[in-house]
Amino acid sequence: MDASLASHLVHRAATAAPVNIDKVLRVARSWAYPKQVLYLLASFISLVALCNRLSFAYRYLTRKRTSPTTFSVGQRTGISLLRLPLALVDTFQALAFRWTIPIGRWYTLNLTEVGLAAAYVGILLSWTFVNTTDATGIPVEIHYYSNRAATIAASQLPLMAALGMRNNLISWVTGISFDKLNFLHRMAARSLCLLVWIHAAGRLTLGLHDDEVITNAWIRCGVLAISSLTLLCFLTLRPIRERNYQVFLGVHFVLVFVFIVAIFFHLRGRQLTHYGAWPTMIVWGLDRFLRIVRIVVHNFGYFLPTNASSNASDLDASVEVLSPHFLRLTLHRPKSFKWRAGQSAYLSFPSVSVFPLEAHPFTIASIPDMEGGSDGEVDDEKRKDEPENEGKKERKLVFFVRVRKGFTSRLLGAAQPDKRYKVFMNGPYSSPPILVGYNTVILIAGGFFLSFGIRS
C-alpha cells in the first residue's frame, strides 16, 4: 500500500501545473499594500487628533485666572517658559496656514494644503509602483501594478466620502471643520481618478480575460464608474463649479449616486464589495441620517400636526433689508440648540428656494446667553420692556447675509417688513478656534468679515 501511495503522489507531482511565482506575489501584494496605506493614513489622522487634544489640554491647564481689569494697553507681562510650546505651535500655524502659493489663475493654496496633497499622491503612487519587478527582472511590470492600483483606489473610497460629508468622524476627532476638509475631499477624488485610469489602461494593455468582456454587466459598471468619476473631477474645477453652484450640487449628487452604485456592482464581480463599496455606502448613509435627525430635532414644530403646532409660527424667520447689499435674518430655536461663536448653520427657505432641498450656509452672528436669557443680547432693559419676550424658552439666532446672485438675490426680492418665512435650519457646523488659555485675544474686523488674531 505504501508503494502504491508513493507512486500516486509522484504521478500527481509530475502532472501538477508549475507554480506561477509572479502571480503569487502579485496577489499577495495587491491584498497587503492597500492595508498598509490605510494603516499609514489612520496613523496620521490619529496623530493629528492627539496633537489637537494635547494642545487644548495644555492651554486649559496653563491658562491664567487673572482679572481682565489688571491688564492695560502697553503693559508688558513677564516671559513664561511654560508658554513657549504654545508660542511655537502658533508660529507654525501662522506659517503653514497663512503662507499661500498661487497656482494658476484661480487657485491659491497654503503650505499645508500643498504639503498634504503632495504627500497623499506620493503615498498612493509609491505603494502602487513599489516592488513591481517580476521574477525575470523586468522593472515596473504591468501585471503587478494594474490590479494593485484598483485595490488601493477601492480602499480609499470611504476616506474620500468621509472628507466630503458634513458629519464625519475625521472632523470629530481632529477638530477640523468639514468645510476645511473639503479641499482634501476633492484632492482624494482626483487622486483616485488617477489610480482608476492606471488600472483601466493596464487592463486594456494586457487584454481582457474570458470573463472580462464588455458584454458582462460588471465590466460595463466599471466603465460607467470611471466615466462618472472623471466627469465629477472635471466639474469640480473651480472656474466650472462657481458658474452656477446650485446646478453643480445637483449634478454632483446625481453623479456620486451613479458612481457608488456602479462601483458596487463592479467590485461585486470580483467579490470585493467589502473593500470599498459597503464602507462608502455606510459613511454616506450615516451623514444623510444625521442631517435628517438634526433637521427634525431643530425644527420639530414644523413636523407636528397643524392643529397641534401652535408654536410652529415661532420658528419662522423675519427678513430685514439693511441695505441693497445686506440682509438680517432673525429666527428663534429652543434652548437645547447650542453653538459657539463663529459656527454656521444651513438655512432652507421653501418659499424662496428653487430646488426642494436647497440649503445655504450662514455664520451665526448672535451668541448664546450663558445665563439662560432668551436672545443673548446685552440690552436687558429693552428686553424687560417687551412683554412678548417674557417666559420665552427660546434663543434668538441672527444672521447677516450679503446679497449676491442666486438665492440671496431672490431673498432680497421677496423680503417684506411684516412677512415671516418658514425656514428649516440644520446645524451648527464649523469648528472655530477655542480661545482657552490665551490672556489676550485681538479681533481684527476688515470689511464685513471677522478674523481671529491670537496673542500667545
Please report whether residue 22 resides in a domain. Answer: no
Cα dihedral across residues 202, 207, 208, 213: positive or negative: positive
pLDDT of residue 456: 32
> What residue numbers bound the domain in which 224 lies?
29-67+81-295
Angle at 49 between CA 47 and CA 55, to 5 degrees: 100
Task: Confirm if 120 and 188 have CB atoms less than 8 A apart.
Answer: yes
Q: HSE (CB half, 13 Å, CA atoms) of 223?
A: 9
Please report whether residue 75 resides in a domain. Answer: no
- Whether residue 356 is found in the same domain as residue 249: no
Please report whether residue 74 resides in a domain. Answer: no
- Whether residue 157 is found in the same domain as residue 227: yes
Final residue in a domain of this structure, among 295, 328, 351: 295
- Whether residue 327 is found in the same domain as residue 354: yes
pLDDT of residue 39: 93
Q: Any residues with CB less than 8 A from the CB of 200 and at least 6 apart, and which?
A: 222, 226
- State the cell numbers at 44: 496620521
Please report whether residue 339 resides in a domain. Answer: yes
**Number of folded domains in the chain?**
2
- Whether residue 201 is found in the same domain as residue 291: yes
- Whether residue 140 is found in the same domain as residue 279: yes
Task: Confirm if 273 and 265 have CB atoms less than 8 A apart.
Answer: no
Final residue in a domain of this structure, among 246, 271, 295: 295
SS3 333: strand
Q: What's the CATH code of the domain at 438? A: 2.40.30.10
pLDDT of residue 237: 83
Task: Confirm if 182 and 163 have CB atoms less than 8 A apart.
Answer: yes
Task: Confirm if 155 and 407 have CB atoms less than 8 A apart.
Answer: no
Cα dihedral across residues 151, 152, 155, 160: positive or negative: negative
- Rounded to 5 degrees, φ, ψ at 376 are 75, 10
CA dist list (Å): 214 to 211, 230, 262, 390, 427: 9, 19, 14, 71, 46
- Whether residue 282 is found in the same domain as residue 352: no
- Whether residue 164 is found in the same domain as residue 244: yes
Final residue in a domain of this structure, among 295, 320, 351: 295
**Residue type for position 127:** W
- Whether residue 139 is found in the same domain as residue 222: yes
Indicate if the pLDDT at residue 64 is higher than 70.
no
pLDDT of residue 280: 87
- Whether residue 350 is found in the same domain as residue 401: yes
- Whether residue 288 is found in the same domain as residue 316: no
Distance separating alpha carbons of residues 115 and 110, to the nearest angstrom: 9
What pLDDT, in 10s, does the model give residues 413-454?
888 888 888 889 888 888 777 766 666 777 766 554 444 433
E-assigned strands of 280-393? 317-323, 326-334, 344-348, 360-363
Distance separating alpha carbons of residues 78 and 456, to the nearest angstrom: 12
What pLDDT, in 10s, does the model give residues 272-330?
777 777 888 888 888 889 888 888 888 877 777 664 545 567 788 888 888 888 899 99
Task: Confirm if 112 and 97 have CB atoms less than 8 A apart.
Answer: yes
Please report whether residue 257 resides in a domain. Answer: yes
Please report whether residue 10 resides in a domain. Answer: no
- Whether residue 36 is found in the same domain as residue 182: yes
Please report whether residue 305 resides in a domain. Answer: no
pLDDT of residue 242: 77
Instruction: Provide the percentage of residues in the chain whose pLDDT is more than 90.
Output: 11
Task: Confirm if 167 and 286 have CB atoms less than 8 A apart.
Answer: yes
Q: Nearest CA to 61 among 53, 50, 72?
A: 53
Q: Which whole number is the average pLDDT over 81-103?
A: 71
- Whether residue 245 is found in the same domain as residue 187: yes
CA dist list (Å): 247 to 103, 161, 231, 346: 26, 20, 14, 18
Residue carrying the nine cell digits 475631499: 185
Q: Which whole number is the average pLDDT over 127-137?
A: 85
DSSP state of 166: S
Task: Confirm if 172 and 294 have CB atoms less than 8 A apart.
Answer: no
Please report whether residue 2 resides in a domain. Answer: no
**Rounded-to-10 torsion of CA 171, 177, 178, 181:** -90
Name the more confident of 69 and 175: 175
What pLDDT, in 10s, does the model give residues 212-234?
666 678 788 888 999 999 999 88
